[in-house]
Structures are given as C-alpha cells and as structure tokens.
Amino acid sequence: MAASRTRAVLATLGVLSVCAASRSGPVTEGETGGEAEWAEPWDGAVFRAPSALGAVGVARSPETLWPGREEAVDLPVLLWWSPGLFPHFPGDSERIECARGACVASRDRRVRRDSRTRALLFYGTDFRASEAPLPRLAHQSWALLHEESPLNNFLLSHGPGIRLFNLTATFSRHSDYPLPLQWLPGTAYLRHAAPSLQERAEWRRRGYAPLLYLQSHCDVPADRDRYVRELMRYIPVDSYGKCLQNRELPTPRLQDTATATTEDPELLAFLSRYKFHLALENAICDDYMTEKLWRPMHLGSVPVYRGSPSVSDWMPNNHSIILIDDFESPQKLAEFIDFLDKNDEEYMKYLAYKQPGGITNQFLLDSLKHREWGVNDPSLPNYLNGFECFVCDHELARLDAEKAHAASPGDIPVPEPHIAQPSHMDCPVPTPGFGSVEEIPESDSWKEMWLQDYWQGLDQGEALTAMIHNNETQQRKFWDYLHAIFLKRNQNL
C-alpha cells in the first residue's frame, strides 16, 4: 500500500533532476525549521508517503543522458531496483548532478550486470528475499530506502537482513541518510495556533469525548487497539476509524480513509476541537515518528503517545506530550487525562511550545536546520532525490578510492566496504499493547501474525545471506523457504 501511494505522489512531480544541498548559517525567516508562516497544503501533500517528496524539484540538467551514450560512458550508474520510486520522468534514465559530480540514475534493469552500474537502490517495503537480484555482483553497493515501519518488512529488523545493504536511508538517526523528521516541515508547523479552550468546552457540551482515536489500520504489530479498548473502560474515547469505531465523521468525504491521511482543512478543523489525541504508531522503533504524532501537535491537541522510545529527544520542549508508557495501567492514564481535562492551567502547560521562545529543544532545532532535504521546500531536494545523490556521492568517492589503490597498491589499501548496522532500524520484537504475551491465547490473531512474521524475517535474512556467501546448508534452507511460500500462495488461491 505504501509503495502504491508513493507512485501516486511521484506521478505529480514531473521530470525532476537533483543536486545534493547542504545548509549552513543561522535559520532565518522563511527557511526550513524557521518561524515563517505555515500555509496548509490544499491537497494534503505533507501527509502522503513518502511525506517529504514535495511538489517541486531543484534545477535540472538541460539534457538527459542515457547509459551507453558517449557523454555518459564514464559516469557511474545507479539502478533503482524498485522502479516505482524512480524520481525522473518520462524516460528510463537521467543524468543527475550531485555534490561530488555526476551519475546516471536509471530504472532499466538491463544495465544490472554492466560494469558501470555501481549501486542498486531498493525500497524496503518492496524488498523480498525470494526476489533478490542474485548473484550479487562484487563491484556493486546495495542501498536501502525505507522510511516505513517494520510492519511492511520484518526482514530488515534483524542483523542478517539489514547487513545485506551498504547504505541506508531510514527513520533512524543512525542510518547513513537519516529521515527521522520526515513528517515535520519545520517549527512554524508546530507553532500553528490551537483553538481556544472556550471553543473546546463548547465541543464537550455537545456530547463529544475529551479523547479522539482515528485509526483504520487495525491489528498492527504495536497492538494499539488492545490498549485503547482497555482505556475505553475508564474514560470516554471518540473513535472514528474502522478500528474500535463508535462514532462517524460528519460527512461521507471525511469518512473516506484516504481523506483521513491528508491535511484536508475540513478534517483538520474537526480534529482540532479535541483536547487529546490518541497517537499510537503501528510499530515501536527508535526515531519512528509519523503524522500520528506531529499532526495533533500542529493542531494544538495533546498527543497521548506510544511509539518511538526516543521520542522525547525530538520534542519541542520537555512538557509537550503524554507518554503512555509512563503510566502503570490504562486506568492510571485515564485518571491523569481526566485531571488535565478539568484543570485548564495544567493543560495549557502542554501547549507552551506554541508561544514565542517555547521551542527550547536545541537538538530538534539543529536537526531541522542541518538536514539536507526539505518537506515541501522548493529550495531543497526532497529526501528521495537527496538519497539518490547521497548514493551517487558515495559511489564517486568509492571509485576514487579504488583508483588510488590501483595506482599505488603497496601504499594505499583496498577500500573497505561500508555495511549497514542493526541500529539503522532498531525495531525490537513486537509486544502486546496491554498485558503480557503469556496472557494472550495462542489463537490470537496478533500473536499468530506479528510474532510469526518477526521471526520469519530473521530466517529470510539468514537464508539470503547464505545464498550470497554460497553456504550449501543455508542455501537448502532458502529453497525450503521459497517452497513454503509457494505452498502458502497456492492455499490462498
């Protein structure tokens, strides 16, 4: 689903060319991360996946150079093995200009075995061990773009899976091209004014709950619905999505799940009337934060959050969200929310970041200032194009290192390959939203689905690694795995 949404966004971009951009100097009015006025995108472009694609590319080369033409003969080729993410239209290949020099980006798989093809670029949601392009060629890097959670591919949550790749762009700050703030346009977005307490009090008098839940993707690895179901025993929750639904949004258009993932002005106006939003990610990973967190902060609703264990590192100050895991039970959480709901002065402390000087987290400010990509910012590449240039620059540097070694093998060693690390995803075993694993019946759909998928991801990574390194015993394991997939597919026909 994420890949199809990505292709829909890319289709709106037109022909793009990119160059890596760097930032320096103080943040000023109008810059990403600054205090410029935030304009709501009319079509909800911020919250499409990947969110940071934006609507405008940066300066493109006046001509398109194709692999094989004389003028491109010496340029390294980057092959998008996930062609739906190829950010250049309408052709299959495009010359790109980056910080260290030029490369050719392509989606033409006929060039995979070409000696000039230096890197294969994969989208993590689409990557499957059974479909990996083997044999892996010794001169090629594998680069991974995966801004989504492990729900889409648990193979990447394990060491053998992530170490298949040389370069990564993930939500983790530890990845090679980090994307932890992919859903946050800048500080002006956070400082958007909240509705008045009087307006929200009137909303409550009309019979609405203090707490909102809006999810239509149910039974996810984070098991959020089980927690919310228990929380509902102790405090009123208005649930509008397909998960635990007990109310309907006011119009058929807003009831469309596609609308619920956008910044539709009518939807935002409706959501903003709630003082608290249940903001639970679909998976628990360090630095994995989505619109479920940033959108309520934009609206001035306090997120009641479960997701990234490192979320506090990124908050505008140390008093802006309620962390579910700080409470020993859903009942204790409900009591605290009820306390804030009845005490305006204590509640407003959670919105202090919207006031001038209220964003005090220097780590957040620096991260927004220095990231090399932007969200709907025409002065910066989107992160898809930025990652492409990051890979290009890496391959140009690797070529220079190889040439230096060839020229002086006795003095300059062979360049060591860069290998991705587990910290580039850092997603632990899924845990129940409420209670312990032992308390959940073996027949439970969450336990059967997500725990099985998590450990199957490890098997896939180990088997594919063995195939690449020609381990005969593990190769048999890989073919057994493929056979199991074949049988499972036939059973579903």
Q: Residue 358 pLDDT more than 60?
A: yes
Residue type, 100: R
Chain segment 253-284, per-residue pLDDT in tens:
888 877 777 788 999 999 999 999 999 999 99
What mean pLDDT is predicted for residues 99-114? 96
Range of 70-74, 286-290, 371-375 with top mean pLDDT: 286-290
73 pLDDT band, cuts 50/70/90, is low
- How many Å apart are CA 465 and CA 134, to the nearest integer? 11
The pLDDT score that the predictor gives to residue 483 is 57
What mean pLDDT is predicted for residues 420-431? 90
471 pLDDT band, cuts 50/70/90, is low
Average pLDDT, the chain: 83
Instruction: List the Cα angle 74/80/85 in 5-degree steps.
Output: 135
Q: Residue 440 pLDDT more than 50?
A: yes
More confident residue, 4 or 425: 425
Chain segment 2-14, per-residue pLDDT in tens:
444 443 333 322 2
How crowded is residue 492: how many other Cβ atoms within 10 Å of its Cβ?
A: 6
- Specify whether the CB–CB gap between 340 and 172 falls below 8 A: no
The pLDDT score that the predictor gives to residue 169 is 97
Q: Residue 418 pLDDT more than 50?
A: yes
- How many Å apart are CA 385 and CA 177, to the nearest integer? 12
Question: Which two structure tokens, joined as six digits, stand for 309?
Answer: 């264990």
- Cα 75 to Cα 20, 100, 106, 168, 174: the distances in Å are 17, 12, 12, 22, 29
- How many Å apart are CA 388 and CA 77, to the nearest integer? 11
484 pLDDT band, cuts 50/70/90, is low
In three-state form (DSSP H/G/I as H, E/B as E, the rest C), the secondary structure along 100-120 is: CCEEEEECCHHHCCCCCEEEE
The pLDDT score that the predictor gives to residue 478 is 55
- How many Å apart are CA 489 and CA 130, to the nearest integer? 13
What's the whole-model pTM score? 0.82
Q: Which domains does the chain have, with CATH numbers?
A: 77-179+382-491 (no CATH), 187-367 (3.40.50.11660)
Q: Which residues of 439-454 are buried (b: 16+ CB within 10 A; e: fewer)?
A: ebeeebebbeebbebb
What mean pLDDT is predicted for residues 127-142? 91
What is the Cα 61 distance to its own chain's centre? Answer: 29
435 pLDDT band, cuts 50/70/90, is confident
Q: Residue 15 pLDDT more than 80?
A: no
Question: Which two structure tokens, joined as six digits, stand for 166?
Answer: 């040389």
What mean pLDDT is predicted for residues 126-133? 88
- How many Å apart are CA 137 and CA 464, to the nearest integer? 14
Percentage with pLDDT > 90 across the chain: 61
What mean pLDDT is predicted for residues 42-57? 33
- Specify whether the CB–CB gap between 386 and 24 falls below 8 A: no
Percentage with pLDDT > 70 across the chain: 80
In three-state form (DSSP H/G/I as H, E/B as E, the rest C), the secondary structure along the chain is: CHHHHHHHHHCCCCCCECCCCCCCCCCCCCCCCCCCCCCCCCCCHHHCCCHHHCCCCECCCCCCCCCCCHHHCCCCEEEECCHHHCCCCCCCEEEEECCCCEEEEECCHHHCCCCCEEEEEEEHHHCCHHHCCCCCCCCCEEEEEECCCHHHCHHHHCHHHHCCCCEEEECCCCCCCCCCCCCCCCHHHHCCCCCCHHHHHHHHHCCCCCEEECCCCCCCCCCHHHHHHHHCCCCCEEECCCCCCCCCCCCHHHHCHHHHCCCCHHHHHHHCCCCEEEEECCCCCCCCCCHHHHHHHHHCCEEEEECCCCHHHHCCCCCCCEEHHHCCCHHHHHHHHHHHHCCHHHHHHHHHHHCCCCCCCHHHHHHHHHCCCCCCCCCCCCHHHHHHHHHHHHHHHHHHHHHHHHHCCCCCCCCCCCCCCHHHCCCCCCCCCCCCHHHCCCCCHHHHHHHHHHHHHHHHHHHHHHHHCCCHHHHHHHHHHHHHHHHHHHHHC
Chain segment 362-416, per-residue pLDDT in tens:
999 999 999 989 988 888 889 999 999 999 999 999 999 999 999 999 999 999 9
- How many Å apart are CA 292 and CA 285, to the nearest integer? 14
The pLDDT score that the predictor gives to residue 470 is 66
The pLDDT score that the predictor gives to residue 443 is 76
289 pLDDT band, cuts 50/70/90, is very high
What mean pLDDT is predicted for residues 12-23? 30
Among the ranges given (91-105, 109-123, 210-224, 427-441), the one the predictor scored with the smallest mean pLDDT = 427-441
